A and B are shown apart, each in its own frame.
Chain A
Amino acid sequence: MTELTLRGLTKRFGATTAVEDVTLDIPNGRFVCLLGPSGCGKTTLLRLIAGLEEPSAGQILVAGQDQTRVPTHRRDFGMVFQSLALFPHLTVAENIAYPLAIRGVDRATRRRRAAELLELVRLPDVGDRRIHQLSGGQRQRVAIARGLAIDPRVFLLDEPLSALDANLREHMQVELRQLQQRLGVTTLVVTHDQKEALTMADMLIVMDQGRVQQTGAPMEIYRDPANAFVAGFIGSTNLLPCRLAGRQIRVAGTTLDLAEGDRVKSADGDAVLSVRPEDVRFAETGLPARVTFIRDLGESVQIVLDLEGREVSAVFAPRDRPEVGLGDTVHLTFEPGRRVVLAP
């Protein structure tokens, strides 16, 4: 079992705190995405786990053993860097076998293992090439293969797909996920792309300003965000100021009754109502709003509305597209059971 445990992990650079008091339990074999806006401390957290930064406080445990003061090269982790950090002076196979060469594995075994790993990342027959002869996607796979060469206890990836174009990126996300499921290695990926996180992860860690905002399964976080930041960062959402009184909320001059399934994470008084664009519906009665923009994306239609000076976004499937035009006034309802009332 190689579950990863962080206890009160903190990293300060001078006066700024990059990572603050992070306590986490990551069970064995999970695919975890560390998600957050740039500068939120997610890369620093990954580097702390890798041992490339020394924590100011706190502990890192792998399979129950304290690794906090163990130097990077004795942790037996695999890591893929943002720049990939492939060695230009070595061939593809030598790159992949580097961690084995360091451990004194003999040449024949190294060669066999490199071929095996190239097969695994579906890149056979390039072992003798130089790194500069590979395309971006191929380099990506080589870096992943190298990270997996020693069967690492924990596999860490820092924005591994950020250099790829959109199509290849989506393709690699699926591939990386399938690879991880096959190998069952505990994996941590840093990303700022929530779509990427939702595609790959079975556990999300949402960070902002050095703190963990929420952890959980992606859909759990999507449906039940802990605060307004998480609601806005995971998927898109409409955040509307409201007043909460018991099981009733007042939004834009209209009082709505909360239904079963609606989540309340705020005390009575000023609050924020979070409604996903796909949960905004048009009806005969409801909150009056004016259509200000229609964006037809083919797979879906987004209608932007003005609700008492607030922008509200609604998304429909093409066949549910309402017959409205710019400037029309419509009445909005929010799908009961899918509304979340958050602290302001």
Chain B
Amino acid sequence: MSVRDQKATPGWLGAIPAVWLAVLFLVPFAIMLSVSVAHRVPGGFFEPGFELTSYARLFTPFFGRILLTSILIAAGAALICVALAFPFTVILAGMRRRAQTLVLVILLAVLSLSEVIIGFSLSTLLSRTAGVGNLFAWIGLIETSQAYTPGLFALMAGLCYLGFPYAVLVLYPPVSRLDPELGEAARSMGASPLRAFLSVTVPVLRAPILGALILVFVFTLGAYLLPQILGRPRHWTLSVHITDQAIFQSNLPFAAAMAIVLLIVALAMVGLALLLGREREGRA
């Protein structure tokens, strides 16, 4: 028996996820792809065929704007999430072990909340009749209570609430492994704590930060409940329109075409981010 045969993990184990992926991902994707080029029967369903009418409908200013809105909202949520999660994680990693465990458990608990609960909680919290507006009015910050939902602020708050735990969980392992002497070295060389953070801690952890950005971006790009609950119609993302077309307009070919375009755009954004990250590394 050669040495190569004595690996601890038998190679055929890899076949299980491969088959799994093929059955549950590739096959449905192929079906979606074929539906996207199928012919729509108005008032009915669709019949197999090959036409690009559904895709053609997408290349209108209306859907272009929706696509742009979706990307901007997801990118904005990713930026805000990571901008909050990164300093949070750095401070978390500096805390005592017990405190760290407690915070991480709370974060995991937040993950168990469904999008629906988060959406309705926030919409109540930001409403005029039962929300924080009453508190502000009572303190005297504003004259009468007002609603902060629906709107971009409410939507962003919801998406960030959703994405924040993921960002922290992605950032936590590399941040906690970071050599604390790096920051101390920067300070010993004259950098103020903030300067040390920005000039050493952030760039050293550039790869995990990029990873967290991509994760939250992709994650929020698919959100379709929160934009409806917390956003105005003009904040409705492509995901909302896909649901609308598929379920309420019964236009499955068009919904499938939108889903595929969204997938391609998401992949392109991730690829672009990775490319930018690599280029920076090569240059720096």
Contact = CB atoms under 8 A, between A and B. Distances in A.
Interface stretch (A4-12, A75-83, A203-211, A251-259): A75-83
A85 interface: yes
B179 A85 contact: yes
A98 interface: yes
A73 B196 CA distance: 10
Interface stretch (B48-56, B99-107, B121-129, B198-206): B198-206
Given A52-B187, A98-B189, A102-B189, A87 B195 contact: no
Contact of B191 (A75, A81, A102, A150): A102
Interface in A27-85: 50-52, 71-79, 81-83, 85
Given A79-B185, A87-B203, A146-B189, 10 more contacts: A72-B188, A75-B188, A81-B184, A85-B181, A87-B186, A89-B204, A90-B284, A91-B284, A103-B190, A156-B188
Question: Secondary structure at chain A's binding surface: helix, strand, loop or mixed?
Answer: loop
Nearest to B183: A85
B188 A50 contact: yes
Contact of A83 (B181, B186, B203): B181
- Find the residue from B182, B189, B191, B200 having the highest chain A CB count within 10 A: B189
Contacts of A98: 186, 189, 199
A76 B284 contact: no
Contacts of B249: none
B176 interface: no
Interface residues of B, number: 21
Nearest to B196: A73
Interface string B156-192: 0000000000000000000000010110111111111
A88 interface: yes
B284 A79 contact: no
Contacts of A156: 188
A73 B193 CA distance: 8
The 4 closest A-B pairs by CB, nearest first: A85-B185, A99-B189, A85-B181, A79-B188
Interface residues on A, range: 20 to 34
Contacts of B190: 73-74, 76, 99, 102-103, 150
Contacts of B186: 87, 98, 102
Contact of A88 (B184, B187, B204): B204
Contacts of B191: 73, 102
13 contacts: A73-B191, A73-B195, A73-B196, A78-B188, A78-B189, A79-B189, A81-B185, A83-B181, A85-B185, A87-B182, A90-B284, A99-B189, A156-B188
Interface string B228-254: 000000000000000000000000000
Nearest to B184: A52
